[in-house]
Chains A and B, each alone.
Chain A
Amino acid sequence: EVQLVESGGGLVQPGGSLRLSCAASGFTFRDYWMSWVRQAPGKGLEWVANIRQDGNEKSYVDSVRGRFTISKDNAKNSLFLQMNSLRPEDTAVFYCARVERAFTYGRHLHYFDYWGQGTLVTVSS
């Protein structure tokens, strides 16, 4: 059974830092792209970052690029999100998600087939 368990959320002051972790089990972690997706209170889903299977390709939404860093440790089956220079608008539940990707008939397939339960990050003074 695929399981994704996030941790590391909490209350942090504006300008502060936080490191989120996601422990993966039930699948061969090193074979998958992984993502972070967030959801502000009462709002919709927002993709935050992606990382390739080997960790050598990463992408970010514009609003976090340069402040957040995604990484993965395939030996420990873990995904991370280092968040620096946090802002009140970063307040959200952060989900870890496994990615399924393909390129078929000239179109990209990229979707999130398993999600964790989420961890709440609150940025406030």
Chain B
Amino acid sequence: SYDLTQPPSVSVSPGQTASITCSGDKLGNEYVSWYQQKAGQSPVVVIYQDNKRPSGIPERFSGSNSGNTATLTISGTQAMDEADYYCQSWDSGTGLFGGGTKLTVL
């Protein structure tokens, strides 16, 4: 398997756009999902299959996956979006998670 690399932290002002990247050698070969984890809570999927939103996830969350990099974009970021975000994929029968990115809404 291979590693998924995320920036440890991203900061954004309320109302602005936050972008969190996830890079990996074979990332474009499989679908990517993204999870939000708020302090003390279980993870919640916010994007699956690169760019699909589960029901109940706001439209401001979007995703893309091209080449070796996947990106989670949060448009019009709100204070409630402050959380840790993890990318996730699958390789040769093994689950992979990125190291996580702490999103701070200043």
A residues neighboring B (CB under 8 Å): 35, 37, 44-47, 50, 59, 61, 95, 100, 102, 104, 107-113, 115-118
Contact = CB atoms under 8 A, between A and B. Distances in A.
B42 A46 contact: no
A61 B33 contact: no
A45 B31 contact: no
Interface of B: 29-31, 33, 35, 37, 42-45, 48-49, 54, 84, 86, 88-90, 93-100
Given A108-B90, A115-B43, A46 B30 contact: no
Contacts of B37: 45
A45 B45 contact: no
B65 to A, nearest CB: 9
A48 to B, nearest CB: 8
Nearest to B54: A113
A46 B42 CA distance: 13
Contact of A44 (B30, B86, B95): B86
Contacts of A107: 29-31
Contact of A112 (B43, B84, B94, B98): B43
Main secondary structure of the interface of B (DSSP, over half): strand
A50 B89 CA distance: 14
24 contacts: A35-B95, A37-B43, A37-B97, A44-B99, A45-B35, A45-B37, A45-B43, A45-B86, A46-B97, A47-B97, A59-B94, A100-B48, A107-B30, A109-B31, A109-B48, A109-B90, A111-B31, A111-B48, A112-B88, A113-B45, A113-B48, A115-B44, A117-B42, A118-B42
Contacts of B93: 50, 59
A103 B35 CA distance: 21
A108 B43 CA distance: 21
B42 A115 contact: yes
Nearest to A48: B95
Contacts of A46: 97
B94 A47 contact: yes
Contacts of A111: 31, 33, 45, 48-49, 88
Nearest to A60: B94
